Amino acid sequence: MPEPTVPESAWSKSSPSSGEGGEGVEVADAAGTVHIRNSKGRSGSVLTVAPDAWAGLVRLAADQTI
């Protein structure tokens, strides 16, 4: 399956990957799907999931304590 074509302007960085040099992900919402990539490996693979799957993952992560 070919990698999705998502414009660079559509990507948003997670807070850990913005400015501090930490590891993180970038997320783009395009054409009814959510695309996720490594913020340090932008030319690598992109994970594509349905919006409800992404929302479930975000809810699960928000419920976890560190």
Instruction: Give tens-digit pLDDT for 6-54.
Output: 888 888 887 664 555 567 889 999 878 999 998 887 778 899 999 999 9
Which pLDDT band holds residue 64 (cuts at 50, 70, 90)?
confident
Q: Is residue 44 part of a domain?
A: yes
Q: Is residue 56 part of a domain?
A: yes
Q: How many domains does the structure of the chain reveal?
A: 1
CB 49 within 8 A of CB 27: no
Specify the pTM.
0.73
Instruction: Give tens-digit pLDDT for 20-32.
Output: 556 788 999 987 8
CB 17 within 8 A of CB 24: yes
24-28 long-range contacts, CB within 8 A, separation 24+: 27/54
pLDDT at position 22 is 62
Q: Is residue 31 part of a domain?
A: yes
Q: Is residue 5 part of a domain?
A: no
Q: Is residue 36 part of a domain?
A: yes
Domain that residue 41 falls in: 10-63
Q: Is residue 32 part of a domain?
A: yes
Cα–Cα distance measured from residue 6 to residue 19, given in angstroms and rounded to the nearest whole number: 23
Q: Is residue 48 part of a domain?
A: yes
